[in-house]
Amino acid sequence: MNARLDEIAAWRPAPSGGLESAANEYGSPTVIHRTPSRLVEECEIAFDAGLLLAALSLVVTIPDVCAKAVGMKYTDWCVKYLDLPNTGEKMNAERKDEKSQDEISDELDGITARGAFTASDLYQLRCAVVHAGSSVIEGKGKDYSPYKVIGVCVQGDECGIVASYGHTGVGAENLKACAYDCVIKLEGLISRMAKGVVSFLEEDPERDCERGIKTGIDRRGVTDFRPLSRISYTLKKWLDF
């Protein structure tokens, strides 16, 4: 463990730019803008490279960027472009710690009817990931999700978002320590997000930009001042060919 932490602390940045910087033969500064399409692209690249935590952090924040561009709420954007259901109802009863088997049966039917994974659930997962680096659903908006935890898995299949959902509890007829939980597929969420962003941008291609300020120095994007590596430039020329 100590060796791994020492290795993390000893990280040094690569001295030369990567493939994106190779767009300019002379190594002039390259600006990577935080556009919706670029965020999706980097999310997919991160997933394929095995950087699952990076991919998860990106995919749950993409609706923030898109919704802000058109003055929508996060959940409303997810309903319209990700085709996620959302009733907006509170789920206080579902979060109680003690339940009977009958209550659990009725509430599971209600969860199924509302949608096993809704726009509200995605927003609560987003808050957990961004603010706490976890899957625990707590805080101001927790009452809008029946789940005390929303897990994330990878199954190798991009079809569908929900991998499983159900409940846990201790006891027989009357259960204590009850909790509903859901597990979603990261690749399914990324696939749905990519399609949603494409639909969003097809309505108006001008949306594929990063917000800036009207006056003053434009600080949009990340500017890469590193010189190009010969390998990166050669690879770029080969790909173009």
Has residue 7 been placed in a domain?
Answer: no
37 near 29, Cβ under 8 Å?
A: no
Has residue 56 been placed in a domain?
Answer: yes
Residue 109: is it exposed, middle or buried by C-beta count within 10 angstroms (0-12/13-18/19+)? exposed
Q: What is the pLDDT along the chain (241 residues), one digit of tens a residue?
A: 889 989 989 988 887 765 554 445 555 788 889 999 999 999 999 999 999 999 999 999 999 999 999 999 999 999 999 999 998 889 999 999 999 999 999 999 999 999 999 999 999 999 999 999 999 999 988 999 999 999 999 999 889 999 999 998 887 778 899 999 999 999 999 999 999 999 999 999 999 999 887 777 778 888 888 776 654 444 454 455 5
Has residue 3 been placed in a domain?
Answer: no
Has residue 213 been placed in a domain?
Answer: no
Question: Which pLDDT score is estimated for 22?
Answer: 46
CA atoms within 13 A on the CB side of 181: 13
Q: Nearest CA to 47 among 38, 35, 57, 37?
A: 57
- Adjacent-strand bridge partners of 151: 183
Question: Which pLDDT score is estimated for 36?
Answer: 96
Question: Hey, how many other C-beta atoms are within 10 angstroms of the C-beta on 14?
Answer: 8
Structural domain span for residue 56: 23-206+221-236
137 near 147, Cβ under 8 Å?
A: yes
pTM as predicted? 0.86
Question: Which pLDDT score is estimated for 21?
Answer: 44
Has residue 4 been placed in a domain?
Answer: no
Question: Which pLDDT score is estimated for 14?
Answer: 80
Has residue 35 been placed in a domain?
Answer: yes
Sign of CA dihedral 22, 23, 24, 25: positive
d(CA 145, CA 216): 42
Has residue 55 been placed in a domain?
Answer: yes
The count of domains in the chain is 1
How big is the chain by its Cα radius of gyration, in Å? 22
Has residue 36 been placed in a domain?
Answer: yes
